[in-house]
Amino acid sequence: MSDTEFDIIVYGATGYTGRLVAEYLVNHYGPRDDAPKWAMAGRSQDKLEAVRDEIGAPADTPLVVANADDQADLEAMCARTKVVLTTVGPYQMYGDNLVAACVSTGTDYADLCGEPAWMAEKIAEHNDAAKASGARICFSSGFDSIPFDLGVLMTQKAAKERFGAPSPKIRGRVRAMAGTFSGGTAASLGATMKAAAKKPGIINVLRNPFALAEGFEGPGQPTGMVPMYEADLDKWAAPFVMAPINTKNVHRTNFLLGHPYGEDFQYDEMMLTSPGEAGKKMAEAAVEMMKNPFGAKPPKPGEGPSKDERENGFYDVLFVADGPGGENLHFGVKGKYDPGYGSTSRMLTETGIALLHNNTGGGVGTPGAFLGEALVDRLQSHAEIQFAVEN
């Protein structure tokens, strides 16, 4: 793909999150010598022109018109670039043709997918063909699931340095978060629930932490769905709405890398409340919230927070790794900006740029398996995300 017209095409650039991706490329890379050659893509020339002007992109920024329902359009678009970054979801509704087009043209692909049943389907359909064409299909390249996928990867690196072996059990704990989930996340959950009503087998995929590990079945895993007091942290832990997708990606990364965490590895995710009775009540309330995590009026695709809300958002995730003698290691991942929009748009963009600079084999994978520490370095240098041992 060295002779392609572009390095990156942002597909869905007229949508809320796609616009943020394009805006980040304009503001962060601008005319720099190392800036990728990129283009904005979507269904409407007029909308692309309007967004280009609104975000302050140069007037000569290339625009590509391609319809998600037109396979020929998508294949022609993919043939012009090394990487496609897509924000057009829910992916189970709009992503089939684009994944197929990237696989057939050998084009790298990254998205923001948090739809495990669809991802399992695409792995079965395209993994072998993607390996043959060299296309890297990189799902979940935003808040689903980069801080968690790469957080576990780096925690295990620190565990090996400290303990001499990987940790057999890691807890991911969201200590604090300010921001909103994206309208795309809400729409994806809704689409998944509708699909499960038609295909009951999807429920088994959603419940199985190894659903993306292509037949591998590891040990029993903590559910993360029962409130619990964690004495070592002096906090109550409650269910975390993103855990069902993040845990699957963590186990897929372990699987794809040849189980460097061990075949007996256990992992779960929860969010921390506070100590005492107040923390317990908050944790119990979170169980009820899991039944309808986005409330009566969920955000809609194309809607999102203001610039101030995005820039004042943040997240703080703790990983606790068990050691062989009862000791443990604490590792933190902290991100600036709203997790569902401001930070996610940066993560997706940096994933795309990392794909440009790191040559690995094709297939359907994860940011952790394809890029690992190379992406960690980019996120720390460019996206204001910190990865660090804490004790």
Amino acid at 308: D
In the prediction, which pLDDT does 355 show?
98
Residue 202 has pLDDT above 90, yes or no: no
Averaged pLDDT, 258-268: 98
| pTM for this prediction | 0.95
Model confidence pLDDT, tens digit, residues 363-390? 999 999 999 999 999 999 999 999 999 9
Model confidence pLDDT, tens digit, residues 22-49? 999 999 998 888 889 999 999 999 999 9
- Helix then strand then coil, in percent of the chain rounded to 5, is 45, 20, 35
Residue 323 has pLDDT above 80, yes or no: yes
Model confidence pLDDT, tens digit, residues 80-129? 999 999 999 999 999 999 999 999 999 999 999 999 999 999 999 999 99
Tokens 């696989």 correspond to what residue? Answer: 103
In the prediction, which pLDDT does 296 show?
64
